[in-house]
């Protein structure tokens, strides 16, 4: 589903990625671990087309995405890649349901269809009762689950998550991690997760260790 070959990236004199080759299959839950500064976030951003490599190729679903024009890339990204960050990044003026629907609107889905799908996902996550609440009326764990629901709405090829449970307590952390596996089991959803959480890394299908811009 995702194939990276020879990815390099420098910021000024600092080479942050030194030739990354990586393949990820549909339905895999993969964790990326390593010390701070190893290049994990940069790799995730490049995989998510939020940043461009200096060299190398990125294939997703058979399409070479680093050759796409910026406008096509934005459409591709919204449709095929879901993002979850450490802090939920929900829009405060919208309800949970509306937040989940936003990427569907951007993709041109009808209101009726987007509402139906958002309700289904929130229901799957046990958040139906919370769907008309705004982010400041939700707990930290609920906000992160709504952020995962938003990442899922367009049925993406992959969800890229950067420290998704980094701001959660143990109980909410465990619940969020379980949700990733439930989504994989139900929808064959693929996840690539940058994490410092050893408990999560232990239970993912594969753990990629990065040090100093390389996969070891
Ligand atoms: P990790 O996620 O493993 O902690 P990052 O990918 O965030 O590592 O960062 C790797 C290195 O690249 C760090 O030294 C960081 O300071 C540097 N870096 C990341 N993004 C930028 C940027 N936009 N400009 C300059 N340096 C950056």
Decide: residue 39, CB within 10 A, 0-12 exposed, 13-18 middle, 19+ buried: buried
- The pLDDT confidence band at residue 104, using thresholds 50, 70 and 90, is very high
Mean pLDDT of the chain: 95
Residue 16 lies in a domain: no
Decide: residue 64, CB within 10 A, 0-12 exposed, 13-18 middle, 19+ buried: exposed
Residue 179 lies in a domain: yes
- The pLDDT confidence band at residue 28, using thresholds 50, 70 and 90, is very high
- pLDDT at residue 52 tops 90: yes
State the DSSP H helix or E strand holding residue 123, giving kind and residue range, or none if neither.
helix 111-124
Residue 152 lies in a domain: yes
- The pLDDT confidence band at residue 202, using thresholds 50, 70 and 90, is very high
- The pLDDT confidence band at residue 86, using thresholds 50, 70 and 90, is confident
Task: Measure CA 207 to chain center.
Answer: 16
Q: Angle at CA 93, nearest 5°, toward 116 and 95? A: 30
d(CA 144, CA 141): 5
Residue 133 lies in a domain: yes
**ipTM of model:** 0.97
For residue range 141-200, list pLDDT tens digits in order: 999 999 999 999 999 999 999 999 998 999 999 999 999 999 999 999 999 999 999 999
What local confidence, expressed as pLDDT, does residue 87 receive?
Answer: 86
Pinpoint the alpha helices (H) of the chain: 40-47, 70-80, 96-106, 111-124, 140-152, 170-187, 198-203
Residue 58 lies in a domain: no
pTM (predicted TM-score) = 0.94
- pLDDT at residue 23 tops 90: yes
d(CA 124, CA 183): 9
What local confidence, expressed as pLDDT, does residue 181 receive?
Answer: 96
- The Å distance, Cα 22 to ligand 1 centre, comes to 19
Q: In the structure encoding, which two tokens stand for residue 106, read together? A: 């951007």
Query: Residue whose CA is closest, atom 18 of ligand 1?
Result: 11
- The Å distance, Cα 42 to ligand 1 centre, comes to 6
Residue owning tokens 């589903």: 1
Residue 94 lies in a domain: yes
What local confidence, expressed as pLDDT, does residue 148 receive?
Answer: 95
Pinpoint the alpha helices (H) of 30-106: 40-47, 70-80, 96-106
Domain range for residue 171? 26-52+69-215
- The Å distance, Cα 45 to ligand 1 centre, comes to 11
Residue 138 lies in a domain: yes
Query: Residue whose CA is closest, atom 6 of ligand 1?
Result: 39
Given the CA of residue 210, which atom of ligand 1 is nearest to it?
3
Tally of structural domains, the chain: 1
CATH of the domain at 112: 3.40.50.300
For residue range 56-85, list pLDDT tens digits in order: 999 998 889 888 898 899 999 999 999 999
Q: In the structure encoding, which two tokens stand for residue 21, read together? A: 């080759």
Residue 61 lies in a domain: no
SS3 of 82, please?
strand
Q: In the structure encoding, which two tokens stand for residue 80, read together? A: 């095929």
């Amino acid at each position: 589903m995702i194939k990276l070959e020879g990815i390099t990236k420098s910021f000024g004199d600092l080479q942050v990625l030194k030739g990354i080759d990586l393949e990820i299959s549909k339905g895999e839950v993969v964790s990326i671990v390593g010390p701070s500064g190893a290049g994990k976030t940069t790799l995730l951003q490049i995989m998510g087309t939020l940043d461009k490599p200096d060299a190398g190729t990125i294939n997703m679903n058979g399409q070479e995405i680093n050759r796409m024009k910026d406008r096509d890339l934005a459409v591709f990204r919204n449709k095929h890649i879901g993002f979850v960050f450490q802090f939920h990044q929900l829009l405060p003026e919208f309800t949970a349901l509306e937040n989940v629907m936003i990427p569907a609107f951007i993709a041109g889905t009808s209101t009726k269809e987007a509402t139906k799908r958002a309700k289904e996902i929130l229901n799957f996550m046990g958040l139906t009762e919370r769907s008309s609440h705004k982010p400041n009326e939700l707990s930290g764990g609920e906000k992160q689950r709504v952020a995962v629901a938003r990442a899922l709405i367009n049925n993406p090829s992959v969800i890229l998550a950067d420290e998704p449970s980094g701001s959660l307590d143990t109980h909410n952390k465990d619940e969020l991690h379980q949700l990733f596996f439930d989504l994989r089991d139900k929808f064959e959803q693929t996840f690539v997760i940058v994490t410092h959480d050893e408990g999560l890394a232990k239970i993912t299908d594969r753990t990629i260790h990065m040090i100093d811009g390389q996969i070891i």
